[in-house]
Amino acid sequence: MENSDNDRFSELPGPPISKICCIGAGYVGGPTMSVIALKCPEVQVTIVDVSKERISQWNSDKLPIYEPGLEEIVKKCRGKNLFFSTDAKKAIQEAEIIFISVNTPTKTSGNGKGRAADLKHVEGCARLIAGIATSCKIVVEKSTVPVKAAESIMQVLKANNKQGVRYSILSNPEFLAEGTAIENLINPDRVLIGGEETPEGQKAIETLCWIYNKWIPKEKILTTNTWSSELSKLAANAMLAQRISSINSLSAVCEATGADVSEVGRAIGLDSRIGSKFLQASVGFGGSCFQKDLLNLVYICEKLNLPEVAQYWQKVIDMNEYQKTRFSQKIIECLFNTVSEKRLTIFGFAFKKNTGDTRETPAITVCKNLLDEGAKLNIYDPKVEKSQIIADLTSTRVTDNPEEVKKSIEIFTDPYDAVVGTHAIVICTEWDEFIEMDYDRIYKLMIKPAYLFDGRKIVNHEELQNVGFHVITIGKKLNRPGLMRSVGSISQQ
Ligand code: UDX
Ligand code: ADP
């Protein structure tokens, strides 16, 4: 028997799904939807964004974000079952599943300023959907949000409900890491889907599972209640960041004692209970997620009246700040305690290799500290746009004298040009090309003594010492006789 219109409207969508809409064409929405389109050719995927510019970039030959493997997928699916549009109305109306992948930055004013996640864009999406939808929808929260955000989305949707339109909210956090996003999406460690324990919630979970199950085995698709799913995302990032802060804290001990943090990392990582990943000591972690999610977790714990827990996670952030500043201090101390009017080369500005993203990159802190001390900087990064570097270093968060900063920095597109007449190279990002460079040639182009500060532990320190460089790295006293100066815990050769 045919369902009446009312019955059909009261039904939440179930498999098979024919249309998906994603709100937010950023680092999360873009790659995630591209992979869904690739793996589900029978499903039409439309990504919408408020930014016309972003959408036209997605529709052009130069995509707005760099991610290995992404361009090939977009080229393959775009115009077939993958669409980028500013017409949110049409896409929302037609879709059975709507993903919310908008940014959730840390609040810059008001309650929870500097810590709580700003949910204004997420709330905006909920209001947008409520205003447009004329049939039942599954709404998937993909942006990283505080625990219980799904409840807020539901409240907005219910309060603006039209007759017969029902919603089910799912939490489906994204665990992709930039630079390996496509690989992570195609072959994830797990997919997490949180939903309500009601029959409707379970049906929505089953529907989203149907999508992922097109290429991900069932064993890897984990279903939980909504709050567990939301908290798991924050917890995963907090635990990963904590490992980096832990090894970075030990890097200071290594420099003071003569131990080598790479050896320590390897030794402890071989314990299968600890594991080897995320134990690479560095200048500090960056990226849009770790700091933001930690701050968010700290804020939530304070709100839940769990001050000890809040302080515990706050220390992970504090240690990261300490590491970035410690590295900058080391550079200044080694360069005879002054970098004033000295020109230094910064190799790498992105927060990690294989991405053009600079959000919370440690390079900003290092550059800021050096600029504050009067240094001039030649900056080279293979993927970050010149305008982005200038915007980052002249933002009000970094300086109150942007014109002065502009005069003190120069951005290069050729690394060999960037080193000419500089006193030191500072490696801030672990780009592979920095490992293979012609350091003999570079050495000749620099002022002597020529210094290299390896904030990522990627270059061959012994070879560079043989070339003539004074090499300083993180978590290791380079033990060679020669120019040893008394600069606290800093070693150099
Ligand atoms: C992270 C999480 O890994 C991912 O699951 C989540 O969805 C988003 O946040 P991302 O920020 O893209 O991903 O990069 P990640 O590879 O985690 O690196 C974060 C920062 O930590 C980078 O600055 C990186 O250089 C640094 N890092 C990483 C270290 O300093 N040492 C390590 O051992 C690993
Ligand atoms: P993420 O790393 O979380 O993907 P991004 O900043 O890269 O964050 O992308 C988020 C995208 O969401 C941006 O392109 C932004 O323009 C878009 N966006 C924010 N709010 C809305 C909204 N209400 N409707 C549509 N797009 C939005």
d(CA 363, CA 388): 13
Answer yes or no: are the C-beta atoms of 372 and 365 closer than 8 Å.
no
Q: Which domains does the chain have, with CATH numbers?
A: 19-216 (3.40.50.720), 225-484 (3.40.50.720)
pLDDT at 278: 97
pLDDT at 145: 85
Q: Is the CB of 177 under 6 A from ligand 1?
A: yes
Mean pLDDT along residues 71-85: 98
Q: How far apart are the first and last CA of the chain?
A: 84
d(CA 217, CA 209): 10
Pocket of ligand 2, candidates 102, 140, 184: which has the most ligand atoms within 8 Å of its Cβ, to mutate? 102
Sorted by sequence, the CB contacts under 8 Å of residue 72 that are 6+ apart come out as none
Res 431 pLDDT > 60: yes
For 63, 390, 411, 412, the CA distances from 387, given in Å and listed in that order, are: 16, 5, 9, 12
Report the alpha-carbon angle 230-132-40, nearest 5. Answer: 60
By three-state DSSP, how is residue 39 classified? Answer: helix
Name which of 449, 448, 442 is nearest 414 in CA terms: 442
pLDDT more than 70, % of the chain = 95
The overall longest dimension of the chain from CA atoms, in Å, is 90
d(CA 5, CA 135): 10
pLDDT band at 161 (very low <50, low <70, confident <90, very high): confident
**206-254 pLDDT, tens digit each:** 999 999 999 999 999 999 999 999 999 999 999 999 999 999 999 999 9
CA of 177 to the centre of ligand 1 (A): 6
Which listed ligand is nearest to 286 at the C-alpha? 1
Query: Which of 189-193, 396-400, 426-430 shows the lowest mean pLDDT across its residues?
Result: 396-400
In terms of C-beta density within 10 A (0-12 exposed, 13-18 middle, 19 or more buried), how is residue 268 classed? middle
Tell which wins on pLDDT, 49 or 487.
49
Q: Cβ of 463: how many Cβ atoms within 10 Å?
A: 12
**32-42 pLDDT, tens digit each:** 999 999 999 99
Q: Is the CB of 29 under 6 A from ligand 2?
A: yes
Q: How many residues appear in the chain?
A: 493
Sorted by sequence, the CB contacts under 8 Å of residue 448 that are 6+ apart come out as 468
**47-71 pLDDT, tens digit each:** 999 999 999 999 999 999 989 999 9
pLDDT band at 2 (very low <50, low <70, confident <90, very high): very low
Ligand 2 atom closest to 27 (CA):
4
pTM, entire model: 0.92
CA of 197 to the centre of ligand 2 (A): 30
Q: Is the CB of 282 under 6 A from ligand 1?
A: yes
Q: State how far Cα 387 lies from the chain centre.
A: 20
pLDDT at 31: 97
pLDDT band at 480 (very low <50, low <70, confident <90, very high): low
Name which of 376, 327, 357, 365 is nearest 474 in CA terms: 327
- Take residue 46 and report the two structure tokens written for it: 């439309």
Name which of 184, 172, 167, 187 is nearest 68 in CA terms: 184
Ligand 2 atom closest to 102 (CA):
12
Q: Is the CB of 293 under 6 A from ligand 1?
A: no
The one-letter code for the residue type at 315 is: K
Q: Is the CB of 24 under 6 A from ligand 2?
A: yes
CA of 82 to the centre of ligand 1 (A): 28
pLDDT at 14: 87
Q: State how far Cα 234 lies from the chain centre.
A: 13
d(CA 90, CA 352): 37
Ligand 2 atom closest to 24 (CA):
12
d(CA 207, CA 214): 12
**269-304 pLDDT, tens digit each:** 999 999 999 999 999 999 999 999 999 999 999 999
pLDDT at 3: 42
Q: Is the CB of 237 under 6 A from ligand 1?
A: yes
Q: State how far Cα 478 lies from the chain centre.
A: 32
Instruction: Tell me, yes or no, if 428 is annotated catalytic.
Output: no
Q: Cβ of 56: how many Cβ atoms within 10 Å?
A: 12
CA of 428 to the centre of ligand 1 (A): 14
pLDDT at 285: 98
Considering 40, 289, 301, 428, which one is annotated as catalytic? 289
Which listed ligand is nearest to 262 at the C-alpha? 1
pLDDT at 477: 84
**340-375 pLDDT, tens digit each:** 999 999 999 999 999 999 999 999 999 999 999 999
Q: Cβ of 100: how many Cβ atoms within 10 Å?
A: 28
